[in-house]
Amino acid sequence: MLPSISRRHFLAGTCAATFAGTAWAQRDAQPLIQSIEHETIWENRDGKSINWFHPRACVVDRQSASPLILMTTQEITGSDFFGPVHWSATEDLGETWSTPELIPAFDLRPVPGHDGLKIGVCDVVPEYHPPTNTTLAVGHCVYYRGNHFSGGDQLARYPMYSVRDSDGNWSDRKKLVWDDPRGSFIYSNNCGQRVVLPDGDVLMSFTFGDQGKHRLVAGVRCGFDGENLVIKQVGDPLVNNVGRGLLEPSVAQHQGRYFITIRAEDNRGYVAVSDDGLKWSAKKAWSWDNGEPLTMSTTQQHWLTHSDGLFLVYTRKDKPNQSVFRWRAPLYVCQVDPESLQLIRETEQIALPLVGDGINDPKRVPRMGNFHVVNASLGESWVTVGEAGYMGSMKRGDTLMARLKWSQPNRLVAS
């Protein structure tokens, strides 16, 4: 058994939006999302504990035992300043979570030849790899001086990974090598969702650039043997020459095709589709099904997948959050039309609500801009997020989970 910390329900709601009239709508036009419950995994809005941030989970098959849901997380104490990556797990579908434990591979380490500079790992996403019965956790390197993000001497940034074997042992950190000058400043899959292909290859995406602005995004296919992750192919890039360019891409598979969603810095998010995850269609700004574009502010989006439907989890500008930093509350979920690549507006729901007054008192609104999605069982999927910025402090915030319950079994999950 795992040493556990009980969670508490802080709000439970049943949310549903009805829609019909499309050829791919779920059976009998019954909404796929039957209800959404909101839970707190760890409390810390008072700042007296640890603000566990970047909570990202995956389901680990344990053969004869019930599945283990493994989550990586790390403390946040300042703007882009994170502690070492830890892991926690639940054996009872999120009723209790184990006390977070350090992943030694992702601890802070001194950088040789750079006095006072330390290298850490952040933005980690774990994903179970069935062919090798291992869990691959991929993040990227980051550099700190003292208790701050080192803005003045960030060295080249690249993906770093550690592998958890079936006995629960973590490997040392490794670098995912890409010797392409286009990524000499940065190449990264940070915060990105990935797809394990039938042959065991891993499909992901890079944001990359040879300078700090105008980064590109491309699909990446890697081989993985349970120990080493190696790049096989990099596809054609997508471009958006505004600000830092295209950031934090996430890839999902739905009914034989691949979809990518991308953070950008022009008040938009972008989507594209591909038959192989390497050659993408022209990117398209996220919009409602009437063609009206969503207004977003340089914040990641992620996929929620179901065998009978494709959904997006995201933030956007709305009347109740107009004064919130980058409109990073609430978290929304909405069904995607996979043909038009638009959001079906009447299906939009709040996955995790805005807390406080987002118009007149945004300082008291915890922000939710770094989140993840996992298909936890046949009957439910989760959105996990670490709050930040409550009362103006990055050290104050709860770790939350939205439990989305399906009206139809999600056949993407093994029974």
Domain boundaries, the chain: 30-45+286-414, 46-172
For tokens 């006072």, the residue is: 116
Q: How many CA atoms lie within 13 Å of 233's alpha carbon, on the beta-carbon side?
A: 11
Nearest to 18 by CA among 348, 292, 267: 348
pLDDT value of residue 10: 39
**Residue 406, CB half-sphere, CA atoms under 13 Å: how many?**
24
Architecture of domain 46-172: 5 Propeller (2.115)
Cis link prior to 330 (omega < 30° from 0)? Answer: yes
The pLDDT tens digits along the chain (415 residues) read: 555 544 444 333 433 333 333 334 443 468 999 999 999 999 999 999 999 999 999 999 987 778 899 999 999 999 999 999 999 999 999 999 999 999 999 999 999 999 999 999 999 999 999 999 999 999 999 999 998 999 888 999 999 999 999 999 999 999 999 999 999 999 999 999 999 999 999 999 999 999 999 999 999 999 999 999 999 999 999 999 999 999 999 999 999 999 999 999 999 999 999 999 999 999 999 999 999 999 999 999 999 999 999 999 999 999 999 999 999 999 999 999 999 999 999 999 999 999 999 999 999 999 999 999 999 999 999 999 999 999 999 999 999 999 999 999 999 997 6
| Chain length of the chain | 415
Q: How many CB atoms lie within 10 A of CB 360?
A: 8
| CB count in 10 Å sphere of residue 285 | 17
- Picking from 202, 188, 237, the residue whose alpha carbon sits closest to that of residue 217 is 237
> Which pTM was predicted?
0.93
Give whole-number Cα distances, 133 to 10, 59, 60, 68, 128, in Å: 35, 11, 8, 12, 7
- The contacts of residue 199 (CB under 8 Å, 6+ apart) are none
Is 321 in contact with 270 (CB distance < 8 Å)? no
Residues 327 and 298 sit within 8 Å (Cβ to Cβ): no
CA 248 from chain centre, in angstroms, equals: 9
Contacts of 83 (CB under 8 A, 6+ apart): 74, 75, 76, 77, 108, 120
Residue 11, class by beta-carbon neighbours within 10 Å (0-12 exposed, 13-18 middle, 19+ buried)? middle
- The single residue listed with the structure tokens 């001086």 is 145
CA distance 383 to 313: 8
Model pLDDT, residue 2: 54
